[in-house]
Amino acid sequence: MSQWTASVGAQQLARLLDAQGGGPEARGGVTPLNGRRTPAYRSLADRVRLLVLEGRVPVAARLPAERELATALSVSRTTVAAAYEALRGEGFLESRRGAGSWTAVPAGSPLPTRALDPLPPESAGSMIDLGCAALTAPEPWLTRAFQGALEELPPYAHTHGDYPAGLPDLRRALADRYTARGIPTMPEQIMVTTGAMGAVAAIGRLLAGRGERVAVESPSYANVLQLLREAGARLVPVGMADRLGGWDLPAWRQVLRDAAPRLAYVIADFHNPTGALAPEAQRRELVETARAAGTVLVADETMTDLALEPGLDMPRPVCAFDPAGSTVVTVGSASKSFWAGLRIGWVRAAPEVIRSLVAARAYADLGTPVLEQLAVTRLLDTGGWDEAVAVRRTEVRDSRDAVVAALEARLPDWEFTVPKGGLTLWVRTGGLSGSRIAQVGERLGVRVPSGPRFGVDGAFEGYVRLPFTVTGPVADEAVSRLAEAARLVASGAPVAADAPRTFVA
């Protein structure tokens, strides 16, 4: 790492250290450890290292000067200097005269940052796949939608079939849906895309060229992180608040001020992977902060329909706090709420942004398949979407409760907070390597993504993401295999690369 891309102030770092659990060790004090007294510098170094590994302090973040941090922690400058030296020796800090010190990860460690590829359907009998947070299609609504779409297809078949902005009827239906949520929207503010990934890719191409800084939550959705990396973006991670608390607004204010990113990608509704639901006050403040910094917020709403608690009062959409449409670009999709196989996504933005996106599409994919657009239009217009999503919420809530019960019974040392919606649990693996658990688990017939896939440059090694997309005996068997993987990782025992066990639901 040759330079820092963000910075952490002395008071902010002190607050993060305190949030680890308080006590004198949080500020570099001397505490008992295994019957011995830990030097203050060692305790401080260990806690900063943990903040980096958990993604609470991003990699490539400049740390405060020794004197500033010593004042904020009420310790001696010698203590901070020794802690920084220890972190440099372990590969978690780099320094250069005149440029300060910034966080790093040890050289030579492979960083599993790519997302998991979808498991081939033919492997379903031998592997429990928890790699993808996606559900099977809801029936009979899917079949009905396509039957109706086929009836409406003939007039479109007499055209060239390319609709770069999307079918007019689908744009109208999506605009009406935003209006019904209290966000007046015209069809001219909608572009239909090939899934949410197609939407984010189009926005990135238009608004952030290669080398531009893009702020992202830490952790964040693995596939989007990889998409942005391959597009040449310089990712600036911003840690999430603890225990589903939404966004860390002081950290966001500092990053937007210091790094001045062109874009920021955020998931306010049942964040993937943590499941956090950002409160309305945070949404308003983040939009105001982004507007002042000249940063465009890309708000991913793909999980917004998956509120699992009856009567949950959902905050207003992020775009509700940007009536002029100059700061927020919203991304939506049918993939999480309905079915990923439709590959229908959309962008809601100011009309001039939509016109620019549509014009640029001539050099990308020209448009989204017509039949699938007709099917989604029919679902929205006939009430089939809402009917299917209502059933889906009940099914997902049951699956969530089954996975949680299995984890509490078989892996009581693993820590997580149960989200009120979405599809994922973000699980701390009791001090074990999430990457190693994922590796051993796949050999035992359960596939999970490790925490570093959702971070930037090696963070979140002590986590895995568990989607609650299985239930009943399948959920119990999946967690049973994870528990066996954790036991083997903890013992250091080798695992033979046998074929995965067959599971029959």
**Residue 39, preceding bond cis, omega within 30 degrees?**
no
pLDDT at site 365? 87
With a cut of 90, say whether residue 387 has pLDDT above it.
Answer: yes
Q: Which residue type occupies 313?
A: D
pLDDT at site 130? 93
- Summarised one tens digit per residue, pLDDT across range 138-187 is 999 999 999 999 999 999 999 999 999 999 999 999 999 999 999 999 99
**Using CA atoms, how far apart are residues 326 and 130, in angstroms rounded to an integer?**
38
DSSP run (H or E) holding 173: helix 168-180
Averaged pLDDT, 268-287: 98
Residue matched to tokens 């009856």: 310
- Summarised one tens digit per residue, pLDDT across range 332-342 is 999 999 999 99
What separation in angstroms does the CA of 236 have from each of 218, 225, 242? Answer: 9, 11, 19
Lowest mean pLDDT among 45-49, 74-78, 210-214, 475-479: 45-49
- Summarised one tens digit per residue, pLDDT across range 400-411 is 999 999 999 999
pLDDT at site 4? 58
**Using CA atoms, how far apart are residues 405 and 416, in angstroms rounded to an integer?**
12
- Summarised one tens digit per residue, pLDDT across range 240-251 is 998 999 999 999
- Model confidence band, residue 20 (pLDDT cutoffs 50, 70, 90): low
Lowest mean pLDDT among 117-121, 417-421, 440-444: 117-121
CA dihedral (489, 493, 494, 495) positive or negative: negative
Contact status, residue 332 vs residue 170, Cβ threshold 8 Å: no
> For helices 10-19 and 66-73, what crossing angle results, to 10°?
50
pLDDT at site 8? 87
* Residues 6 or more apart in contact with residue 188 via CB below 8 angstroms: 171, 351, 354
pLDDT at site 31? 44
Give me 118's structure tokens: 């979808």
Mean pLDDT score across all residues of the chain: 89
The pTM for the full model equals 0.81
Contact status, residue 237 vs residue 459, Cβ threshold 8 Å: yes
Q: Give the best-scoring range by mean pLDDT among 90-99, 108-117, 239-248.
A: 239-248
pLDDT at site 364? 82
pLDDT at site 27? 46
Which of 383, 388, 488 shows the shortest CA–CA distance to 429? Answer: 488
DSSP letters for 19-68: HTT-SGGGGT--EEETTEEEPHHHHHHHHHHHHHHTTSS-TTEEPPPHHH
With a cut of 90, say whether residue 492 has pLDDT above it.
Answer: no
DSSP letters for 251-316: HHHHHHHHT--SEEEE--SS-TTT-----HHHHHHHHHHHHHHTPEEEEE-TTTT-B-STT--PPP
With a cut of 90, say whether residue 51 has pLDDT above it.
Answer: no
**Using CA atoms, how far apart are residues 128 and 477, in angstroms rounded to an integer?**
9
**Using CA atoms, how far apart are residues 304 and 289, in angstroms rounded to an integer?**
23
With a cut of 70, say whether residue 277 has pLDDT above it.
Answer: yes
What is the number of residues in the chain?
Answer: 505
Contact status, residue 189 vs residue 348, Cβ threshold 8 Å: yes
Averaged pLDDT, 218-228: 94
**Residue 164, preceding bond cis, omega within 30 degrees?**
no
Contact status, residue 308 vs residue 420, Cβ threshold 8 Å: yes
Which of 228, 263, 221, 271 shows the shortest CA–CA distance to 247? Answer: 271
